[in-house]
Amino acid sequence: MSCKKLKMICFSPTRTTRRILDAVAEGVGAGQLEVIDLTREDQLPADLNCDDDLVIIGAPVYSGRIPLAAVERFKALKSCGTPVVPVVVYGNRAYEDALIELSDIATEAGFKTVAGAAFIGEHSFSTEKTPIAVSRPDEDDLVKAREFGKSLVAKFADGSLATSSVEVPGNRPYKDRSPKASASPVSNGDCQLCGACERVCPTAAISVGAMVETDPDKCIFCCACVKVCAFEARKLEVPRLLEVSQWLADNFSARREPEIFI
């Protein structure tokens, strides 16, 4: 049996999760690949039924959990027993309960977890002053992601993937979510009002007109706006998060490697 129809479902504000999922999908090499990117709330597809041979679902880790914005979008998915591979991408600190949470979300939607993985991506808070997992995923990570895809297809071909049931690490109940501060990145005088930040914001928190306005209650600190700004005019200057960035850079610089569960 071969994997003809593969679906990739992701939430990925700064695209590291998306790059890992692309590489896993490349390794699977299915005849038909459908991508459902749930990152932008105004681009959600109407039909979220999954009758594919295999589904790969991916999200970043926020405070050891799946970001709420992703959880809400994933909840619209429906399946009748399709094999699913949850993949989380984290910023070289820890993924804690995120992978088990993503597996549980998929189970709730009717999927069956047959494998899973945790990869590393450049931390959303990484800056020149506080570098954290800079440029990850790198080529080594992408090779591992493609190999993971190949191992999935090998197990699919010999029939063992359909019967396997994988337990991924994590605790239930999951760790508590950190309370969300009402704050956001800000644009400085170098801003050219080009609108790139508005276009990448996953929660529609930014509107660009004669000036840039950001709704601090909608902002999830994903930093997509900071990373996309070609003029380096958008900065995360929330004091508490600057402290966190420094703590991460000081304590989590030792390279962590991807973990595969199959």
Ligand X SMILES: Cc1cc2nc3c(=O)[nH]c(=O)nc-3n(C[C@H](O)[C@H](O)[C@H](O)COP(=O)(O)O)c2cc1C
Q: What CA–CA distance (Å, rounded) separates 163 from 222?
A: 37
CA-wise closest residue to 53 among 31, 74, 37: 31
Proportion of the chain in helix, strand, coil states, percent, rounded to 5: 30, 20, 50
Per CB under 6 A, the segment of 24-32, 90-98, 100-108, 164-172 that binds ligand X is 90-98
Q: State the number of binding residues for ligand X (CB under 6 A).
A: 24
* Calpha distance 200→8 (Å, rounded): 20
Quote the CA–CA distance of 201 and 223 in Å, as a whole number: 9
Q: Is 92 in the site for ligand X (CB under 6 A)?
A: yes
By CB under 6 A, tell whether 121 contacts ligand X: yes
Asked if residue 13 binds ligand X (CB under 6 A), the reply is: yes
Identify which of residues 161 and 201 has a Cβ nearer to ligand X in the complex.
Answer: 201
Site for ligand X in 53-72 (CB under 6 A): 60-64
Quick one: 13 or 116, whose CB is closer to ligand X?
13
Binding pattern for the stretch 14-53 against ligand X, x by CB under 6 A and - elsewhere: xxxx------------------------------------
HEC string for 3-65:
CCEEEEEECCCCCHHHHHHHHHHHHHCCCEEEEEECCCHHHCCCCCEECCCEEEEEEECECCE
Nearer to ligand X, 34 or 37 (CB): 37
- 205 to 234, contacts with ligand X by CB under 6 A? 221-223
Residues binding ligand X (CB under 6 A):
12-17, 60-64, 89-94, 121-124, 221-223
